[in-house]
């Protein structure tokens, strides 16, 4: 049985490599792919953990996508999920919540043609070095000035400048300095979440963000006319706290417009500023 599975796995491995290398490049995100059958000890541990015989262990193909930034990790897994159905309950976000040894990666189990199953990991080059060689080796690499295909200094500076421009825009839109201070505190939160649109676009938000914040992050008109949201085809209220890895669909209608209760729901500076601006215009009218 082991030899038969080994031969079949080699064929499945090549098929998965072909499927991913055809599906992902059109999205324009840089990545490199590695694929391997899981080692016997790893399969044995899964058999013990799930209390299943070898014949019932399906996801013995391991796929790994390595990209350049954290945002692209979430974008890649979103695109993979749009092409290949994820197995419910298998998405694990070790980027937002690293393991005790500082291991970071996104994990998911996906289904290909004929329900062919594979376990997927998505991480940055920096995370990959840490996972393969340990945190000490990673620090040593950084101290030696090793090149990193992740966020280099120029990209880091660009992100900071974009953030500063955003702060200046908030300052112009907000009359109350206390509101600006509150917004800065929210935006400076260390913890962030990454939520997907139904088309796979990744939206970065602070922890505890709601569908209302998500809607305004996608587009101000979508935010203005939002009346509800769906997470995985399930209706959720506007004050629902979004989680990393979720796919959020915003429901809109022209008759839906902001009201003062929305200020109790929205947490991001952009959403609160747009709501306040609309309410101010409405009162003046």
The dihedrals phi and psi of 145, each to the nearest 5 degrees, come to 75, 30
Cα 134–chain centre separation? 24
In which domain, by residue range, is 188 found?
A: 153-284
pLDDT of residue 160: 52
- Higher local confidence (pLDDT), 73 or 171: 73
Q: Is residue 282 pLDDT above 80, yes or no?
A: no
Q: Is 62 a member of any domain?
A: yes
* Nearest to 273, CA basis, from 162, 185, 182: 182
Angle value at C-alpha 78, between 34 and 191, nearest 5 degrees: 100
The structure's pTM equals 0.58
pLDDT of residue 1: 45
Residue 203 belongs to domain with CATH number: 3.10.20.30
Q: Is 148 a member of any domain?
A: no
Angle value at C-alpha 112, between 111 and 116, nearest 5 degrees: 75
219/178 same-domain check:
yes
Give the dihedral of Cα atoms 219, 223, 226, 228; nearest 10 deg.
Answer: 90
Give the other-Cβ count within 10 Å of 30's Cβ: 12
pLDDT class of 19 with cuts at 50, 70, 90: very high
pLDDT class of 171 with cuts at 50, 70, 90: low
pLDDT of residue 191: 66
Residue 43 belongs to domain with CATH number: 3.30.460.10
pLDDT class of 8 with cuts at 50, 70, 90: low
117/224 same-domain check:
no
93/216 same-domain check:
no
Tokens for 25? 């490049």
Rounded Cα–Cα distance for residues 142 and 105 (Å) = 19
Rounded Cα–Cα distance for residues 110 and 139 (Å) = 33
Count of domains forming the chain: 2
127/205 same-domain check:
no
pLDDT of residue 245: 78
């Amino acid at each position: 049985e082991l030899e038969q599975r080994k031969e079949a796995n080699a064929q499945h491995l090549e098929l998965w490599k072909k499927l991913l290398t055809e599906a992902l490049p059109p999205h324009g995100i840089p990545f490199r792919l590695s694929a391997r059958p899981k080692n016997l000890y790893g399969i044995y541990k899964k058999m013990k953990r799930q209390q299943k015989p070898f014949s019932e262990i399906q996801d013995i193909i391991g796929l790994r996508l390595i990209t350049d930034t954290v945002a692209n990790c979430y974008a890649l897994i979103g695109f993979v999920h749009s092409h290949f159905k994820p197995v419910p309950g298998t998405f694990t976000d070790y980027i937002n919540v690293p393991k005790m040894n500082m291991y970071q990666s996104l994990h998911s189990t996906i289904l290909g043609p004929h329900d062919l199953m594979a376990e997927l990991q998505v991480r940055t080059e920096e995370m990959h070095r840490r996972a393969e060689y340990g945190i000490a080796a990673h620090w040593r690499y950084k101290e030696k000035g090793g090149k990193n295909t992740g966020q280099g200094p120029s990209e880091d500076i660009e992100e900071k400048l974009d953030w500063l421009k955003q702060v200046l825009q908030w300052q112009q839109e907000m009359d109350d300095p206390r509101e600006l201070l509150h917004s800065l505190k929210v935006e400076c939160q260390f913890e962030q979440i990454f939520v997907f649109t139904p088309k796979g676009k990744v939206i970065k938000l602070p922890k505890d963000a709601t569908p209302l914040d998500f809607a305004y992050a996608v587009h101000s008109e979508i935010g203005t006319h939002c009346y509800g949201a769906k997470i995985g085809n399930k209706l959720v209220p506007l004050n629902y706290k979004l989680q990393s890895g979720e796919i959020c669909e915003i429901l809109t209608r022209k008759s839906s417009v902001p009201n003062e209760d929305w200020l109790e729901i929205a947490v991001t500076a952009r959403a609160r500023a747009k709501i306040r601006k609309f309410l101010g215009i409405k009162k003046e009218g």
